[in-house]
């Protein structure tokens, strides 16, 4: 006689393993997309952006928990601003239509973003945790 409990437990384990395998595959695809995105930026270093800042390069290695942008601000526009104000500026830029695709990839990969910003007098880092990326992604959909 067939034991239904054994069959159900084997079926449950199989479903869990298949789900986990599918999630891992998706995670790997997103990680490769981030590597490709970083490589694309690095093929054209020191790119002048629309806000007159310079995107020097980016960095992401497969499996990293943060995607890094290296930005140079050639003027003193941030000299009188605190880190929170500068972070708000970059948060707003992540909510734009142009950034939606990369923000969604970061979101589904559980990867944060960091901006290493070179100012005329100093260097600062602005960090967005994975949970902040999710929040930004949800706000950009509104």
The tokens describing 12, both together, are: 């449950």
Asked whether residue 61 carries a pLDDT value surpassing 60, the answer given is yes
What is the layout of strands, in order, in the sheet containing 54-59?
Answer: 47-48, 54-59, 66-72, 112-118, 123-128
Mean pLDDT along residues 20-49: 81
- Percentage of residues of the chain with pLDDT beyond 90: 67
Identify the pLDDT of residue 83. Answer: 94
What confidence score (pLDDT) does residue 92 get? 94
CATH, residue 96? 3.30.300.250
User: Quick one: pLDDT at residue 13?
Assistant: 63
Our count of domains for the chain comes to 1
**8 Å CB contact between 67 and 106:** yes
Range of the domain at 82: 4-140
């Amino acid at each position: 006689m067939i034991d239904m409990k054994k069959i159900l437990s084997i079926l449950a384990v199989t479903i869990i393993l298949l789900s986990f395998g599918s999630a891992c595959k998706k995670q790997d695809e997103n990680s490769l997309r981030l590597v490709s995105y970083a490589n694309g930026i690095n093929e054209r270093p020191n790119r002048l952006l629309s806000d007159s800042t310079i995107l020097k390069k980016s960095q992401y290695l497969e499996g990293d928990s943060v995607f890094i942008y290296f930005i140079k601000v050639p003027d003193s526009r941030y000299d009188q601003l605190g880190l929170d104000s500068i972070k708000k500026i970059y948060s707003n830029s992540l909510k734009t239509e142009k950034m939606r695709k990369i923000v969604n990839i970061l979101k589904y990969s559980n990867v944060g973003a960091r901006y290493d910003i070179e100012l005329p007098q100093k260097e600062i880092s602005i960090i967005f945790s994975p949970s902040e990326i999710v929040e930004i992604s949800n706000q950009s959909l509104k």
